[in-house]
Structure 1
Amino acid sequence: MRFGIICPPVPGHLHGMMTIGRELRRRRHDVYLLGITDVARHASNGYVDFFAIGTAEFPPGALDSYLNTIRNVNLLTIRKGIDWAGTMCLALCRDGATAVESLGLDALLVDQCQTEGRTISDLTGVPYLSICNALNLEGDESGEAPPPFLPWTPGEGIALRCIRNRLGHRVFASMMAPIVSQTNEFRKSRGLPSIRRWEECISSLGAINNLTQGIDFPRGTQKRPMFYTGPYLDERPNDVPFPWEQLDGRSLVYASMGTLHTAKWHILESIASACASQPVQLVVSLGQWTKDSKTRELPGNPITVPYAPQLALLARAAVAVTHAGANTVMEALSHGCPLVAIPLASDQPAIAARVAWAGAGLVVSPGKATPGRLQTAISSVLQQKSIQLKAEALQQEILEAGGVVAAVNAIETVFRVTTPTTIESP
């Protein structure tokens, strides 16, 4: 088969989709990433082909400019994010349909954050399946599951909680209304009927979810099939340099605060201070702070690197201190590594709430991430056997879920594909 992949142009989503792409290629399917020019390198790294969309709206360099704008979350950057998403939506609807027809695609794999799959499918007749690279965004009319992006708890049959959760889902739907409106303008211009709610853009064939049920909140309603496969990991070569010889045998604390909404510098300082007073060794993946002179000032002389071989370090780590991005959380748990979560933005507070609910770690809000509080949290995670056991139980669940192999099995089942003879991974 010939598959097209559509996802947001940010690393956390692209990494997962390219892992799926590699597995599809291993099974002799043709795979194309449909994206703006700036993400072509991700297609190359994923060993999939590339088709450029939105070249007029998003010239080379547009992505870096946008990401630098939204790193600090406020009302202005949220507005810019919505504007960007609207422009991206129209470009993808237009050029995505062109790509499907010119490439002869048989099916689309569409990140659930992208609403364009429904319109491209309606224009071309090509089916699509939704892929969750973070939380399931579908609403829950029962009020059992809280809305994404908020650190709320499940309803558990408690009336006030359920009412709160239902209202939260309505607020989230209203936030998506501008995208729905722009999509409908495009659909009208192509003679397609309007959609009423953004959720109608999620595939009726179902969604593949990179969480497992043990880490996700229970739901009262689920209108589409949901395939819980766990994180999309593969055995790709590690090409990120790291000074392994500097590890000295102490319990390893690995800290990564993400690639998009990176932590304020004082949070990194607090993490370093918290570890400096304990018998642990800290490794910090700096991200955007790589070239900042302040990196010399972190207390306790931790190992600092621009970007880290994360999976290899998590396999050794006793605890991960993280922004609670879905990828880092699930990669840590896939190694049985408990967490201290400091959620920064987007869906991170909601993912952190799931970590705490599952008992696999502790949560410290950014505003309270002082050295003392972080020292207490890290020490508690290291010493409380119950937290370690929960993380190990989730590790086993992730192993049994099947990961990227199970995800591609589900894709082939949904599209009724007979798998050709596989080839060796590139």
Structure 2
Amino acid sequence: MRIAFFSPPLQGHLGPAAGLAAALNDRGHQCFLVHHPLLDVDPVFKSLPLDPSQCEWTPASFTQRTRSSGLPFGVLSLVREMAEMTNSLCRQAPDLLRQHGIEAVVSDQLEPAGALVADHLGLPYASLAAAHPINREPLVPLPFLHWPYEDSPKAIERNRVGTWVADKLTARHDRTVARWSAAWSLQPRQKVVDCLSTRADISQLVPGLDFPRQQLPPSFHYVGPLRRAKHDWPVTENKDTRPTIFASLGTLQNHRLSMFRRIAKACRQLGVKLIVSHANGLSARQAATIDADVVLPWVNYQEVMSQADAVITHGGINTVLDALAAGLPILCMPLAFEQPGIGARLVHSGAGKVLSHRSESGRIAAALGDLLNRPDYKARAGLLQDEIRSSGGAPAAAQLLERALGRAISG
């Protein structure tokens, strides 16, 4: 199959998509990425570039919007950019897909253009939840909310009001979906969430990291982290007997120097070793002001986490999954997007704790001390590690898509 991917131009989404594409390539398929030409495309994809003169956005402008997405104006600005990205994809992608003989589509849950274009062209498509799934249920709070899971009428009403507010904030993107659906005479879709595939809806989560679900369709599949084949890193002798902490704020919030400094001060108070990765979010001069044992612009997560005892993170889904894949308890300090919801699900799972990102070093040290000294956190993280190991990952997702999309093409 010749499969076109649609994704937001963010590493947190493109990385899992590339992991899935690599597994599909291994099975003899060809994977393409529809993208802005200023985006650096992973070589696992063949390139389907848009005409930039017809795009009122760039990867850089989109990234900037995500870094300044505070309520309400930052969110509204980001939603406006997302709507324009969907517009440009819907305008240009049909011709691109026809020209390159595309037979199927994989569309990120947060980029509905893939689903709309696929339906317009009569192509089968799958959805990919690279971030937390947006699938809705009355008992499950939306992923950007920090609310805990509760099975009660009060919780249902609370979640309903939260969903109503969210829909108001994202109305511009939803109107874009409805407009293209009507223009192409498709089955009516009113919201982004209406564009999820009924053939295959793939999530990076495992059930143990989600709230209890009662209404997921048969097409939904938890497959765990979508990563390429891992290497076995050699075990190096560690003469430092202190517990090792790894801290990362991902690729969008990696510029928060004050937060890194407070984390480092907390680790000094506890007497533990700290490794920091700032993903090129800081200058060398700024990085030198962090009182950690090791501060690097980039690290190999698998290698570093194999040496760590706990992780401190903003709660980005990929960092959280990589930590749990290594069996590590997590201190989550959410900043934006689905991170508050990931934190709430970590607490529900028993594998981590949550603090405000404004917490001072004393509170960080106390929470981190709990994670290191109470064995139940490590035990719960170990259970999730086992679940991730048996979830199948990218190879399982590739098989699911091959069956679901290939059957549609041949049928």
C-alpha distance in 1, partners of 2:136/2:85?
Answer: 23
Matched, 1:145 2:135: no
Deviation at 1:293, TM superposition (A): 2.2
RMSD: 2.3
Report the CA distance between 1:117 and its aligned residue.
2.5
- What is the TM-score when the length of structure 2 is the normalising length? 0.92
1:350 matched residue in structure 2:
341
Aligned match of 1:212 = 206
Over 3 Å counting, the alpha-carbon distance change for 1:264 and 1:325 in structure 2 is same
What does residue range 68-79 of structure 1 map to in structure 2 within 5 Å?
68-74=64-70, 75-79=72-76
Q: What is the CA-CA distance between 1:233 and the residue it aligns to?
A: 1.7
Unaligned stretches of 5+ in structure 2?
none
1:103 Cα deviation after fit = 1.2
C-alpha distance after superposition, 1:159-184 (max 9, x if no partner): 11121112222332333321121233
Matches of 1:309 and 1:5 in 2, distance apart?
26
Q: Percent identity?
A: 26
Matches within 5 A, 1:207-246: 207-223=201-217, 225-235=219-229
Secondary structure of 2:276's partner?
A: strand
Displacement of 1:285 in angstroms is 0.7
Instruction: Give how far 1:264 is off.
Output: 2.8
3-state DSSP of counterpart to 1:152 = coil
Gaps of 5+ in 1: 239-243, 419-426
Give the whole-Å Cα distance in 2 for the aligned partners of 1:247 and 1:64: 43
Contact 1:289–1:295 under 8 Å retained in 2:
no
Map of 1:121 onto structure 2:
118
1:248-263 equivalences under 5 Å are: 248-262=240-254
Contact 2:199 2:405 in 1 (8 A): no
Secondary structure in 2 matching 1:110: strand
Partner of 2:277: 285
Structure 1 pair 197–417 and aligned structure 2 pair: CA distance change class (3 A): closer
Which SS does the other structure have where 1:195 is aligned?
Answer: coil
How far residue 102 of structure 1 moved from its aligned partner, in angstroms, is 1.1
1:249 Cα deviation after fit: 4.8
Counterpart in 2 of 1:160? 154
Q: For the residues of structure 2 that align with 1:206 and 1:78, how far apart are their CA atoms? A: 29
Which residue of structure 1 lines up, in the alignment, with residue 307 of structure 2? 316
- State the aligned residue count: 404
Q: Does 1:180 align with 2:141?
A: no
Contact 2:107-2:115 at 8 Å conserved across structures:
no
**Amino acid paired to 1:7:** S
Q: Output the CA distance in 2 between the equivalents of 1:66 and 1:400.
A: 35
Give the conservation status (yes or no) of the 8 Å contact 1:54–1:88. Answer: no
Mapped to 2, the partners of 1:325 and 1:70 lie a distance apart of: 13
Query: What TM-score does the superposition give when structure 1 sets the normalisation length?
Result: 0.89
Residue 95 (structure 2) aligned to one of 85, 93, 98: 98
| Counterpart Cα distance in 2 of 1:190 and 1:162 | 35
1:130 is aligned to: 127
Offset, 1:86: 1.1
Deviation at residue 82 of structure 1 after TM alignment: 1.3
Q: Which residue of 2 aligns with 1:423?
A: none
Residue pair 1:25, 1:48 contacting (<8 A) in 2 also: no
Structure 2 CA distance for aligned equivalents of residues 155 and 161 of structure 1: 6
Matched position secondary structure for 2:136: coil
Q: Which moved more, 1:70-79 or 1:100-109?
A: 70-79
Encode CA deviations 1:333-362: one digit per residue, 9 max, x unaligned: 011011000000000000011111100011
